[in-house]
Structure 1
Amino acid sequence: MSAQPATTTIELTQKEDQLKDLLLDTAKYVNNSQPSAQPVILRWAGGWVRDKLLGIESHDIDTAVNTMTGEAFALKICELCEKPEIAEKHRITSADIGSLHKIAKNPDKSKHLETTTIMLFGFDVDFVNLRKETYTEDSRNPQMEFGTAEEDALRRDATVNALFYNLNTGRVEDFTSGLKDMKAKLIKTPLEPFQTFMDDPLRVLRLIRFASRLGFTIDRAAEECMSDVKVLEALKLKISRERVGVEIEKMLKGNDPRRALQYINDLGLYHTIFTDPSKSSMPLPDLSRWHTVYECLSYLSSNEAHESISTALVQTEEASYYAWTLAALAPWELADEPKRNGKGKPPPPLITLAAREGIKAPNRLCDVVTAAHKNKADILALKTAVVQKESCINERDRFGMAIRHWDARGGYWQLQVLFSLLVEAMQRWEASSTSSKNNDNFLGEWQLFIDHLRELDVMDAPSMKKLIDGTQLAKALGVKPGKWMMGALEFCVAWQLRHPNATDPSGAVEEVNKRRNELDIPPS
């Protein structure tokens, strides 16, 4: 590590230049108000520098201040911008300066530093002081102190994230090996990796996220430490599950979620991440075939020959994230559920616990996971019926009502179908040869199923407009609304699916009337 950092330059956009000039004027304003103090030097840090060097556009800029807190400097910006001559000089409009937001540190959530954020010229600009961290064996949280730029660089998770752009000199500063590692497409820790991960085990997941997002390789020495039993135990117990979930979400929404899951698999991290850490008795799912799940999903997402499966089942960015989460959780589907004594409310399935407690998945996603688990047998049965050309496959109401049932239990019925496909892939997908005849046959069955749903015109069954509502049905039957209504209305929907061209519900009412006893409808 040399005292003089390696350097290079960055070409700024017009807006970035405008922001830089305002920040430098603020630093001058501060320096003039306290001439005897150490002058303020500003640096843009971390991800923005890395992305600029890679030609990736970024609107999030971390600004490191050497002599004062981020909040104190941000307040000086607001103070300076109130001066008319400054607003005119920097061409500042009311839309260019947003509100100041302070984000308090929260050590229990692995957030060890207070930051202050302002929206400036369209950028989310975070302000924080340069710092160094001191960890003690008996504390999970570091002691934070003002530090030098080099000390700040050394405490970061990866060398490619430890670069600074010095606003005063207009040059990049590299106090580690960040520039060299960028060229080598290598993710390394600035300091010895084992201690780096023991100080903050969340860095294990951050390195995987950066490697998968950037297409870089993780340094071999770092990989070995990421698999260390002590590091895994620290990650499981020391880091809040919310923070673990945030990193997993960013990975699965990133450029290459397949690679992220492969890293988790290869480094032996699965049982540390996708579990309920409060339940030591929770079983360990078999991972021997998990690779077939994410390789199959990756193949579906990128292969034009089977694009229709992917486009039919994954239709939005959120759905894509949910799909990769389902792929991540798929091994739990084959784990044996604990036996119940039959008393009380049944516990959530293991796969839902892994989502809810392991990565703190939001309720909506947990609902999809639970529904995918509970509806899998029904989905596979209908798929098998289509493949085997059973006599029931032309019953439009059977398929339409099934889809409505799946969707009502968790939404995203298409993703529930995808989940069944991925679980089946654990038995049938040949990962070593994605173009094999077996794989083509396997996906061909699912394509046949989806094509059949399209032919029946039931893909939009959950949003189908009903011909009759409960009030109208009760009036037509001459009875008061009651518990009978739900079943009767479901019968009307099934009738409507059998008669897709009907515009008058009288036929449905007539059928319901014939089945009054069956549907528990009271006499009129």
Structure 2
Amino acid sequence: MATQPTTTTIQLNPKEDQLKELLLDAARYVDQHQPAAEPVVLRWAGGWVRDKLLGVESHDIDTAINVMTGEAFTSKMCELCEKPETIQKHGITETDIGNLHKIARNPEKSKHLETTTIKLFGYDVDFVNLRKETYAEDSRNPQMEFGTAEEDALRRDATVNALFFNLNTGEVEDFTTGLADMQSKLIRTPLEPFQTFMDDPLRVLRLVRFASRLEFSIDPAAEEVMVDQGVLEALRLKISRERVGVEVEKMLKGNHPRRALQYIDDLGLYHTIFTDPNNPSFPSPNTSNWKFAYNCLDTLRENKAPASIYNMLVRSDEAAYLAWALAAIVPFGPLAQPPHTGKGRPPPPYGTVAAREGIKAPNKLSDLCTAAYNHRAEILSLKKTVTEGAPDINQRDRFGMAIRHWDSRGGHWRLQVLWALLVEAMEVLAGGSDKSHTGSNEDFLQGWYAFLDHLQELDVMEAPSLKRLIDGTQLAKALGVKPGKWMAQALEVCVAWQLRNPEATDPAGAVEEVRSKRDELGIPSS
């Protein structure tokens, strides 16, 4: 006998109400034209219900259907929407109904059920049948069957994601403890945690993501199982790293990335996520002081002053995400470079491999990780030059050319500086006073403020986008020679001259500088 759900109500906005009425008419249309054993019942499920109860607007709505597939329902709905009387009744305009898209099953990527999606009244609406899943002993890919609303709720990752809004009754249905857990701000699994995580180990990361995003706590019983070695081994070996990467990216792009990294730290998930799963001897860095790095970044982020370190170094939403991704690999900062034998390019740093293989970081992020590691020593050296007031502190070309070099090999030179700061935070703040756990050790940050202020005073922050006074063709012509391998180095000499002579508009001085270094640069005689 089915359990009677706990219920509550939700106030729909006008657009949601418009969508609801259209879907209910579509359900009645289906009942009239292809009657099943029981009438069609539609429910909005999961994240939309949770967010609505939290007062957060969401434009993604999952619609669960009791007696038919999403594709079968949406094809009948589209048929209904072509009728003039339906268009008039629901005030449908040309842009209100989008095209149908079918997302096929792909069990190898843990996409176990076909989904049909369509844009309706500005909402991205997915349609799928209610289902239950059973797992064979030798496979993590579940067998999917039509199920009841209760069975569908119980197979979900968290009770707060297992709520339904029944369009027919206008009530929220809770077949687990979702409503109570919403009140308690608790992330709990609908079924026994060990079975939930072994059925799909990615749920470990999904719980971390929801707990950090919603600022909820995780049920201690679930936390205990999330660190079980069998669960972690299943997560490391059985889940595609692309899926792991998607979850980590969503965490770091959310509103509370520091909380996500702290959960990963506290639960001991780090070496399961940031690793090369195909290399049993891949090093596990010391994470005992990692918290000083991510707490430091969060403290910097909270400083909203225009001249703050964060605002100088993080200048876009993309950069904000990359900053947190770099913070995630800070523990690899102190590790020595992988050994290089033979010819060819040296292997990437361990942190790059952990990002590339552990979370399938794209090339852009992987290249940034490599550049940040490779340039850290030079960044620290220049910072020391500034803080110690060295005699060559005002050599504009020295600083400007360094910045151009960093940026040309990995991009986002400002984030490379930030990574050097965060690695130093992990190493330095760990030995500081009790207050340093917040990342607010002013003595430590003062050196970085001095460094960045000096770069601004020298006016070299935009050095990578400096417009050259002379290009290669013009330089070769001025020297009376043909272009050759010497060109790249010679142009660098020109740029350095420009940095020393910021008011110059005539490149003659730069050409003379190149001419004076003709033998050194290997420029042939004219």
Root mean square deviation, CA, Å: 1.5
The aligned residue for residue 229 of structure 2 is 229
* SS of residue in 2 equivalent to 1:141: coil
1:433 deviation in Å?
0.8
The correspondence of residues 275-314 of structure 1 with structure 2, limited to 5 A, is: 275-304=275-304, 308-314=308-314
- Following the alignment from structure 2 to structure 1, what is the Cα–Cα distance between the partners of residues 101 and 487? 52
Given that residues 295 and 438 in structure 2 are in contact (C-alpha distance below 8 angstroms), is that contact kept between their aligned partners in structure 1? no
User: Size of the alignment, in residue pairs?
Assistant: 524
The correspondence of residues 118-517 of structure 1 with structure 2, limited to 5 A, is: 118-304=118-304, 308-429=308-429, 430=432, 432-434=434-436, 439-517=441-519
Given that residues 428 and 439 in structure 1 are in contact (C-alpha distance below 8 angstroms), is that contact kept between their aligned partners in structure 2? no
* Cα-to-partner distance string for 1:36-82 (whole Å, 9 max, x where unaligned): 53211000000000000000010000000011111111112221111
Given that residues 275 and 353 in structure 2 are in contact (C-alpha distance below 8 angstroms), is that contact kept between their aligned partners in structure 1? yes
Given that residues 213 and 256 in structure 1 are in contact (C-alpha distance below 8 angstroms), is that contact kept between their aligned partners in structure 2? yes
- TM-score if structure 1 supplies the norm length? 0.98
1:86 deviation in Å?
1.1
- Following the alignment from structure 1 to structure 2, what is the Cα–Cα distance between the partners of residues 434 and 221? 32
Identity %: 71
1:512 deviation in Å?
1.1
Given that residues 31 and 39 in structure 1 are in contact (C-alpha distance below 8 angstroms), is that contact kept between their aligned partners in structure 2? yes
> Cα gap change, 1:327/1:14 in structure 2, threshold over 3 Å: closer, same or farther?
same
Task: Give the residue type in structure 2 aligned to 1:256.
Answer: H
The correspondence of residues 80-91 of structure 1 with structure 2, limited to 5 A, is: 80-91=80-91
- Following the alignment from structure 2 to structure 1, what is the Cα–Cα distance between the partners of residues 349 and 35? 65
The aligned residue for residue 114 of structure 1 is 114
* Cα-to-partner distance string for 1:264-286 (whole Å, 9 max, x where unaligned): 11111001000010000101111
1:436 deviation in Å?
8.9
1:340 deviation in Å?
2.6
1:389 deviation in Å?
0.6
Task: Give the residue type in structure 1 aligned to 2:228.
Answer: D
Given that residues 2 and 150 in structure 2 are in contact (C-alpha distance below 8 angstroms), is that contact kept between their aligned partners in structure 1? no
Report which stretch shifted further, 108-117 or 467-476.
Answer: 108-117
Report which stretch shifted further, 297-306 or 126-135.
Answer: 297-306
Given that residues 187 and 211 in structure 2 are in contact (C-alpha distance below 8 angstroms), is that contact kept between their aligned partners in structure 1? yes
- Following the alignment from structure 1 to structure 2, what is the Cα–Cα distance between the partners of residues 83 and 504? 72
Given that residues 295 and 431 in structure 1 are in contact (C-alpha distance below 8 angstroms), is that contact kept between their aligned partners in structure 2? no
1:343 deviation in Å?
3.4
Task: Give the residue type in structure 2 aligned to 1:257.
Answer: P
The correspondence of residues 18-167 of structure 1 with structure 2, limited to 5 A, is: 18-35=18-35, 37-167=37-167
> Cα gap change, 1:42/1:435 in structure 2, threshold over 3 Å: closer, same or farther?
closer
- Following the alignment from structure 1 to structure 2, what is the Cα–Cα distance between the partners of residues 30 and 268? 51
* SS of residue in 1 equivalent to 2:52: helix
- Following the alignment from structure 1 to structure 2, what is the Cα–Cα distance between the partners of residues 112 and 286? 37
* Cα-to-partner distance string for 1:189-212 (whole Å, 9 max, x where unaligned): 000001000000000000000000
1:438 deviation in Å?
8.4
- Following the alignment from structure 1 to structure 2, what is the Cα–Cα distance between the partners of residues 59 and 446? 42
Task: Give the residue type in structure 2 aligned to 1:178.
Answer: G
- Following the alignment from structure 1 to structure 2, what is the Cα–Cα distance between the partners of residues 240 and 68? 30
* Cα-to-partner distance string for 1:304-355 (whole Å, 9 max, x where unaligned): 5796100000111111110001011111122233323233432211111000
* SS of residue in 1 equivalent to 2:282: coil
- Following the alignment from structure 1 to structure 2, what is the Cα–Cα distance between the partners of residues 65 and 307? 54
* Cα-to-partner distance string for 1:438-486 (whole Å, 9 max, x where unaligned): 8101100000000000000000000111111111111111111111110
- Following the alignment from structure 1 to structure 2, what is the Cα–Cα distance between the partners of residues 351 and 419? 12
> Cα gap change, 1:435/1:340 in structure 2, threshold over 3 Å: closer, same or farther?
closer
- Following the alignment from structure 1 to structure 2, what is the Cα–Cα distance between the partners of residues 394 and 357? 42
Could you list the runs of 5+ residues in structure 1 that have no partner in the other structure? Answer: none
Task: Give the residue type in structure 1 aligned to 2:449.
Answer: Q
* SS of residue in 1 equivalent to 2:29: helix
* SS of residue in 1 equivalent to 2:63: strand
* Cα-to-partner distance string for 1:366-401 (whole Å, 9 max, x where unaligned): 111111011111111000110011111100000000
Task: Give the residue type in structure 2 aligned to 1:458.
Answer: V
Task: Give the residue type in structure 2 aligned to 1:134.
Answer: T
- Following the alignment from structure 1 to structure 2, what is the Cα–Cα distance between the partners of residues 150 and 60? 22
Task: Give the residue type in structure 1 aligned to 2:465.
Answer: S
- Following the alignment from structure 1 to structure 2, what is the Cα–Cα distance between the partners of residues 104 and 374? 43
Task: Give the residue type in structure 2 aligned to 1:394.
Answer: N
* Cα-to-partner distance string for 1:424-447 (whole Å, 9 max, x where unaligned): 111112484149998101100000
Q: Which runs of 4+ in 1 moved over 6 A?
A: 435-438
> Cα gap change, 1:202/1:346 in structure 2, threshold over 3 Å: closer, same or farther?
same
> Cα gap change, 1:252/1:92 in structure 2, threshold over 3 Å: closer, same or farther?
same
Could you list the runs of 5+ residues in structure 2 that have no partner in the other structure? Answer: none
- TM-score if structure 2 supplies the norm length? 0.97
- Following the alignment from structure 2 to structure 1, what is the Cα–Cα distance between the partners of residues 426 and 311? 22
Given that residues 100 and 117 in structure 2 are in contact (C-alpha distance below 8 angstroms), is that contact kept between their aligned partners in structure 1? yes
